Structure formats: C-alpha cells, structure tokens
Chains A and B, each alone.
Chain A
Amino acid sequence: MTTKLFGSKVPRVEDQRFLRGQGRYVDDVLVGQRVLHAAVLRSPHAHARITDIDVADVLDLEGVHLVWTHDDLTGPMAEPLPLLIPHPALVHGRTQYALAPEEVNYVGEAIAFVVAEDRYVAEDAVGRIRVSYEFLEPVVGIPAARAARSRVHDDMPDNVGARLEQENGDARAAIAAAPRTLRLDLTVERSACQPMEGRGTVARWDPDTSRMTVWTSTQTSTGVRGCVAAKLELDLGQVDVITPDVGGGFGVKINHPWPEELLVPLAARTLGVPVKFTEDRREHFISSAHERGQEHRVEVGYDDDGRVLGLNVEFWHDHGAYTPYGLIVPIITSTQLLGPYKPANYRVVFESLYTNTVIVTPYRGAGRPQGCFVMERTMDAIAAALGKDRTEVRAANFIQPDEFPYDQGLIFQDGRELEYDSGDYPASLEKLKQLVGWDEFPAFRAEMAAEGRRVGIGLACYVEGTGVGPYEGAHVHVETSGKVKVATGLTTQGQGHQTAFAQIVADALGVAFEKVEVVTGDTRRMPYAVGTFASRAAVMSGSAIHLAALRTREKALRIAAEALEADESDLEIADGVVRVKGTESQIDLGTIAVLSNPLRYAFDEASKAATQFSVGSPGKPPVAEDDEPGLEGKDFYSPERSTFASGMHAVIVETDPETAEITILKYAVVHDCGHLINPMIVEGQIHGGVAQGVGGALYERMVYDEAGQLLNASFMDFLMPFVTEVPTSIDIDHLETPSPLNPLGIKGAGEAGVIPSAAVFAAAIEDAEAPHQPGLTIVAMPISPSELFHLRQQHESDPEESA
C-alpha cells in the first residue's frame, strides 16, 4: 500500500464520545425511559438435584412483575441451549438450559429469573425464592475428573466429553529411535477474561410492528440474532440485534446465547415493557466463562543439535460443566503448540473433561498460551540438557523463510489445513535478541550477582492462526451529502474499528477520513456476519471493507465518466472529487450519488439534477439491466484458510533471594502481523495483551475448593494487575511479512500479546534461580512469590523430586 492513511497512527474517532462520557454501553440504553430490570437466582451448589422451587412469596413483593423457573418456559425455550460448534469427536456434548430444570452443575448456574421495577427490588425478590436440593458429589479439578469417582453428567460413563488425536508422521517411533529424550509434566491454571464491563442485555418488543430489538454486549450480533429468533420462534426478519459500545470482551462475549440473552427478550415480549439485565461482577465470576485450565504430559526425542525428531503430547482440558463452544480451545492448543517449529514427527491427543465448575470458552489467546507454554518449556528443557543457548535450540527447529507456505499436516480449529502462509522466524529472533540485549545479558547477570541480586532472562516464540472464516462482509454507501456510511457486521469491543476501517475506506475510495462513518455489529445494517474473535476483525472485515470500497469506487468512476464525458481511465479520485486528469473538469462524489439514483421526485436542490427531465437517454432504461440505483458497494471476504501471525517475547526478571518476590526489569516484543493498518492501535493491543499475560503468569487464578465453590470471586481476591504490576515499559519492534491470502496483506494482532507470557516468565524465573538452585524447573503457572519460595525449599530438601 502506498496511500497515506493505511499504516499511519491516526487518532481514534471513538475517543471523542468515550472521553466526554457519551459512550453508549448496554446499561446506558433506554436510560430515562421506562424499562424493567432483571435479576437471576443462581445455584449456590456445584452439583445438586433440584427437588423443589417455591416462588410463592415473590409476586407479593411490590414492584415485581414476573418470576420464571424452567416450568414456565415452553417450546424451544424449555430445551437446552445450542451447542454452537459441534465436532465429531465431541461425542458427549452437553449444554445447559436457560433455567435449570432438574440438576445444577456449577455454582452460578441460572435457576430462576425475576423482573421488577428496579434491580434492587429484583434482587430482593430473588432472595425470596426457596429451592430444595439433593446434594450430589461435585467433580472439581482435572485429577478428580479423570478419576471419575463421581460423574458430572450421570448419563455418561465417565467425565470425558471428547478425545481427539492428530498425528503427523510417527512420533512414538521417532522418540524411541532418538538419541536423546525428555519427559515433562506441565500445568496451567484457570483464569478468565474479566472485561471491565460484564455481560448485559436490553430488549424491546414493538407490538405495532411485531419486531424485537435486542441490545447486547456481545462479540457476535448475528449469532445472538439467530438464537433469539430460533428460541422465541420469531422469523429472523423480526429480530434486530444491536451491539452498542462494549466495555471489553477478550473472548467471553463470543459465547452465546447466555440465558439472559433469551430470557430478557422473552420477558420484554411477555410484559410489553422493555427489560434490562446487567451482570454484576460476582455474577461475572460465577456465571460467565473461564479458560486456561489444562494439564500436559510431553515426551520429546531430539538430537545433539537440539532438533526435535519426535514430539508426543497428551493433555487434559477442563471444560467445566457444559460444552457450548465445542472443542475449540483444546484444538487450538493441540495445533498451535507447534509455534514456529517443525518437529519431524508430532502426535497430540487430548481429553476434554467435565467438571462441576463454570463453563470454559475462549479467553484471549484461546488455548495458545498453554500450547506455547508446553512447547517453549520443552525447548528450554532441551537447551538445558544439551548445555546450549536457548536461542540456538529454537533456531535449529524453525521453519525457514523459504519453506512457506508450510503445511504442518494437521487440521486447525476452522476445519482447514494448518498451513502457515508466511513469516520470517529467524529474522524475528535476531530482532528480539537485539531488542532485549540477549548477548549482553551474561555480563548484566554478573554485575547484578556482584550486588547479591538474582536476575534471569527468558524468551518464548509463538505463531497465531488469525482471521479464521467463514467470512465477513461490508456495505459502503456514499450519500448525496458526500458522507460515506460503512457497515460491517462483526462487533467492536475497544479495538478502534471505527478508525481503522475508516482509514481503509478513505484510501480505497479516495475520500477524506472525516467523511467516513463506520457502524459495526448492527444486524439492521449488515445482517450477514460472523463475529469478533480469533484476531479476525482487521483481516476479515478489513478486507471486506476494502473490497466493498473498491466496488463503490468503480461505480463512481463509471457514473463520473458518463457525466464528464470522459474515459474512465482518464479519471482519478482524491478527497471525494473525481477529476479528469490534468484538466479542470471534475465532479464530487455527492453529485455522483445524486446521479446514481434516477428520481421522479426531487427532495432538495441537489436532487433536482437526477429527476426525469434532467437525466437519462431516450431508448435506455434509467437503471441499466445489470445495475442498481445508489452509489453503493457491497462485498464479502471469505479466505480459503487462516493467516498466521507470529512473534517472540523476552523478559528479564529479578527474584528476591529472601522473599522470592518477582520483579520485571525489561520486557521486549517482536511482532509480525503483516501490514499494520494503524500502528498506534496495534501497539495498544500488544500492551494490553502483555498486561493480561503478566496477570496470567504471576497473579490470576480461579481458586475452587473441593466443594466447587469459587473462593476468589471478587476483584479483592482475583488479582488483576494494576499499573503497579505491569512492566514500566514494553519495547516493541515490528516485522512485516505480508499475508498472501488477503488484499491488504494483513494478519490479526488482537490476541498475540498474551500468548507467550506464561512461557516467557517461567523461563526467566527459572533462569534467575539456576545459578543458586541448579535443576529447579518451573512446570506450573501462574507462579506467586510464595510458590517460588516453597519451590526453593522443596528443591533444597529434595532436588530430584522438584525437578
């Protein structure tokens, strides 16, 4: 791209409303109008049979309009929620009901739904509902799920929802024949997205037009629309879903429909009054999704250069009580674990397990942080065993720049081949070593050691399949005012789409950036769309918008050529004006828009130019047979497969010799997401990812007790990083290997920052300890200072056992 907006740090247009307090988030919708408020009774028990629900007292409470249990639901609403992504291996898929009929399977599962004048009264009403339970044995944690002493779903033989194996070559034979082998057991604990805005839904039923309008804080408007229509037995054409401003998603809002996304519209139609549900923080902890919990066993065979000859990975994925999102997370771990490497033989097998805990759906990175942790810990272990530099072992295993496209011989999360389109991993590694000062580190370590300080360095590499299909679309409409209205169907939750997409349109169409207005996530404007996940918005909608803008440009040039009596090839568009090159002859896009729509009736001064005695040629229809009125362009982008972004992180940490406190001294990122639309936005995404990664590596975990109670369901107890916990600076360098799969050469960037964190911190902490605790290995993340302290003690008392 040679045009000027693509690639520049254009300030965000959305900032203006956010900074003035004029954002419109879901809980802001219908403020000042009559709206009723919903609250949900949630199970206080992890595993129990519901023997009775007594709601007799509830409607006596002044201000209560409705109370529902499962018995009040009929038709599709009384059936289980959809299993969104079926997979042949998911032989025991289970989803919850909008309201639990007989059994609850996690603390937080919805049992009853109340609508009242305000949320305070609705919660009073929830408190009056009396439920009798018969307690069942809860299954908590991967070991308990595997042991299957009790089962989450008693119609299953055990707790294994799915078992999936993929193999490229013969990994076990290669390991058996390899000169050197290693085994590792690696664990990553549960965490969660925790966007600052929880879930929320508002619905209004219009009896005059028989239409349902739903505003919901989602990552997929079209997905919710389909579910609302199916469950409420409405035609798709009767349902509009609008995603307003969203206060962060990070994955949790791609799952749908949440019970409230169906119950709220149903209540709005039943009561004839708009209804609102706004999740509170405790509800978000216990009833929205978690992720990350996995245990892995690795066997690797390698040669004296550190080249991996065979890699065999088995892992166990805790998917919680239900599987609405299918096997996406473990499939991503199992495939993206390979990163930038090409093991000669690879086998992976996982079991996806039921537990009596909150459901698991993708959280930024979506299984990649675990896969990266597994692969990078393996690389570090090989380097340690051979006494080699960790970067050398990685370099020995890299796919080389001349090997693209590179087929890993596996099937990816979208059902397509895991074929990398482009990249340059040796160049990335070189940049990273420079950026973090890899070769200078031994001198720095010695200097610090002289002061009695322990420092360590680590690095981790990843590849991220981004921009998964099936498609996204865009509609571009030039109004007669010259304003350009753009719509794409996927949603926005902080990525600055209104800015980045406007940059693309301004360049492709040849209009001023300020004239372009982008709408996302509104099914009235673009009913065909998939959603915002898998770092796909820029790739998918960015490409679709580019194509739609080009179509609009083509049409503008065609009409202009006729109006200016010039050849199309002699025309150019700049700043919204079409000119015959080298002449004064010109016409602006607004006028072209007027001419594009032959009129009988003028509605203003400008539109007179398009009326029947002004335009058209006798003998020709006013709108040509293969044409349509209006200066508009629509197009869709549907790539054959994902495009693969990549990157490498390095961190230098200090560990306190006495307290085991862990301090970040330097953090470096090399990132390759192809061509950057707006480098400012991309770097912001990386900063945020790194901060979430720091949380996941050093602080955040979901602490369940053996009864299945979440013990830290608040921001007091679940330790999300404040500014005091993140690196004081993050050094970023970009490499741009464009994707050949889309017209702009872009790859996704949203999730990348979080992927290597667990791996890179484990490596650096282990490295800091190495001179003092030789052989101490870090095999479970996150790690707190107390855990590091105990690891040291354990290692001192029994070096073999803790290694």
Chain B
Amino acid sequence: MTEELHDVRLQVNGATHALRVPARRLLSDALRHDCGLTGTHVGCEHGVCGACTVLVDGRPVRSCLMLAVSAVDVDITTVEGLTEPDGSLSPVQQAFVDCHGLQCGFCTPGFLTTIAAGLRETPDPTEDEARDMIAGNLCRCTGYQNIVKSVLRAAEISRGFETGLDGPPQPPEVER
C-alpha cells in the first residue's frame, strides 16, 4: 500500500515551502517536520491546549486541527514570523520578557500568536479583555498571572511604538 502524496505550497512567514505530503498530514506536523519550523508546539493534538496555534490569514487557528493540504492559498504566520524584520522582538514577545510570562516555554508560541492577533482586534484591552483573549490556551507553569500582565504590557509597548513615544522595544541585552 503506497500513500498518495499531494503537492502543496505553503506560504509561511512570507516564504514559500513546496511539500509533497499525504492528505492526512496535519498542518502542525507539516510546519514542524517538513518546513522545519519547530517553534510551533504540539501539546494535545485534539485542539484544546492551543500550543500549536498559528495565524492563518491573521486569525488564530489550531494547526493540529487543520490538514496541510487545506492550508494552501492562505498566509500562515508561526511564532518564528512574529520577530521583527531587524531581528528584535515584537511587542508581544518583549512583553513576555518584561513580565516573566513564560517558564518552560512550551505553550508560549500559541499564546504569542493568539495575543498578536487579539491585540490587532482589541489594541487597548482591559484586564478582563486580556483574560478573555487568552482563555482558550493552556499553560501548566505560570498560573497565567504574568501572561495576563504580558497582554497588557504588549498593548502598552505597541501604543508607544505606534505613537513614537517610547520608540521600538529595545533589542535584548543578552545574546546567546
């Protein structure tokens, strides 16, 4: 028995990936193992935990619930694509540093993509709105306290960024 393979072109973070995959290959597996973008993590493979969240045409989608063959003709953004073109951290990423919004880092990519999209819709969230924004993602380390703070901080950084008050977030002090 040979599995039928399909030619798929995925647009991920502005680059095109030409893949040959079986119809059943999950988008999460295609991104990780075929495109080599291992920043997207798989925590449950049944669409609950949100660790695998990527942006599909700007909207958060669980990549473990989408097939790679159905992800054509869309723009996909993974955590790797959130970093600014100059290599500095985006406001959401920087906010997680500022607020200690992560510990083991496994759920983090799903939070970052979810919040990046959420802040586009609600750029100035209240604390309750910040909670709503992340209410579909599981984290086992942080107790969410500092993730809520990170959402508010990201909004603050973005506002400073847009109005030019604070300038862009500073590049990291410690490079490894």
Chain A residues packing against B (C-beta within 8 Å): 11-25, 27-28, 31-32, 61-62, 118-121, 193-197, 245-248, 250, 280-281, 493-496, 513-514, 517, 680-681, 683-685, 687-692, 714-716, 720, 722-724, 726, 728-730, 753
**Can you list 28 A-B contacts (CB < 8 A)?**
A14-B105, A15-B105, A19-B112, A21-B37, A21-B82, A22-B80, A23-B106, A32-B36, A120-B24, A120-B25, A193-B140, A196-B49, A196-B51, A197-B104, A247-B105, A247-B106, A248-B104, A248-B141, A281-B44, A496-B103, A514-B173, A684-B141, A688-B143, A691-B143, A692-B143, A715-B48, A726-B144, A730-B145
In contact, A19 and B89 (Cβ under 8 angstroms): yes
- Say if the beta carbon of B131 comes within 8 Å of chain A: yes
B175: chain A residues within 8 A (beta carbon): 16
In contact, A19 and B2 (Cβ under 8 angstroms): no
- Say if the beta carbon of B138 comes within 8 Å of chain A: yes
In contact, A196 and B142 (Cβ under 8 angstroms): no
In contact, A62 and B2 (Cβ under 8 angstroms): yes
Bound Cα distance A722, B138 (Å): 6
A692: chain B residues within 8 A (beta carbon): 140, 143
- Say if the beta carbon of B97 comes within 8 Å of chain A: yes
In contact, A688 and B108 (Cβ under 8 angstroms): no
- Say if the beta carbon of B72 comes within 8 Å of chain A: no
- Of all chain A residues, the one with the shortest Cβ separation from B147 is A723
- Say if the beta carbon of B158 comes within 8 Å of chain A: no
A193: chain B residues within 8 A (beta carbon): 140
Interface string of B90-133 (1 = CB under 8 A from A): 00010011101011111111001000000000000001000100
Within 8 Å by CB of B39, from A23, A196, A247, lies A23
- Say if the beta carbon of B53 comes within 8 Å of chain A: no
A23: chain B residues within 8 A (beta carbon): 39, 105-106
Within 8 Å by CB of B43, from A15, A197, A723, lies A197
What is the minimal beta-carbon distance from B83 to any residue of chain A, in angstroms? 5
What is the minimal beta-carbon distance from B78 to any residue of chain A, in angstroms? 7
What is the minimal beta-carbon distance from B70 to any residue of chain A, in angstroms? 17
In contact, A494 and B37 (Cβ under 8 angstroms): no
Bound Cα distance A17, B104 (Å): 11
What is the minimal beta-carbon distance from A9 to any residue of chain B, in angstroms? 8
Bound Cα distance A722, B49 (Å): 9
In contact, B131 and A724 (Cβ under 8 angstroms): yes
* Residue with the greatest number of chain A CB neighbours at <10 A, chosen from B25, B102, B103: B103
- Say if the beta carbon of B146 comes within 8 Å of chain A: yes
- Of all chain A residues, the one with the shortest Cβ separation from B83 is A20
Bound Cα distance A62, B3 (Å): 9
- Say if the beta carbon of B136 comes within 8 Å of chain A: yes
Bound Cα distance A753, B93 (Å): 27
| Chain B at the A interface: SS class | loop
What is the minimal beta-carbon distance from A760 to any residue of chain B, in angstroms? 15
Within 8 Å by CB of B135, from A688, A689, A722, lies A722
Bound Cα distance A15, B109 (Å): 12
In contact, A21 and B143 (Cβ under 8 angstroms): no
Within 8 Å by CB of A15, from B29, B44, B80, B97, lies B97
Bound Cα distance A692, B105 (Å): 17
Bound Cα distance A681, B146 (Å): 11
B112: chain A residues within 8 A (beta carbon): 19
Bound Cα distance A333, B161 (Å): 53
A11: chain B residues within 8 A (beta carbon): 97-98, 100, 173-174
- Say if the beta carbon of B22 comes within 8 Å of chain A: yes
- Of all chain A residues, the one with the shortest Cβ separation from B145 is A687
What is the minimal beta-carbon distance from B140 to any residue of chain A, in angstroms? 5
Interface string of B47-86 (1 = CB under 8 A from A): 0110100000000000000000000000000111011000
Within 8 Å by CB of B46, from A16, A21, A716, lies A716
In contact, A31 and B36 (Cβ under 8 angstroms): yes
Within 8 Å by CB of A720, from B108, B109, B138, B176, lies B138
Give me 13 other A-B pairs in contact (C-beta within 8 A), A493-B104, A692-B140 excluded: A12-B100, A16-B175, A18-B102, A19-B105, A20-B39, A194-B140, A196-B49, A196-B107, A197-B41, A281-B44, A514-B174, A684-B141, A724-B131
What is the minimal beta-carbon distance from B11 to any residue of chain A, in angstroms? 17
Bound Cα distance A16, B175 (Å): 8
In contact, B33 and A684 (Cβ under 8 angstroms): no
B41: chain A residues within 8 A (beta carbon): 25, 196-197, 247
Known A19-B108, A120-B22; contact A196-B143, beta-carbon cutoff 8 A:
no
Known A27-B32, A514-B174, A730-B145; contact A21-B40, beta-carbon cutoff 8 A:
yes
In contact, A15 and B102 (Cβ under 8 angstroms): yes
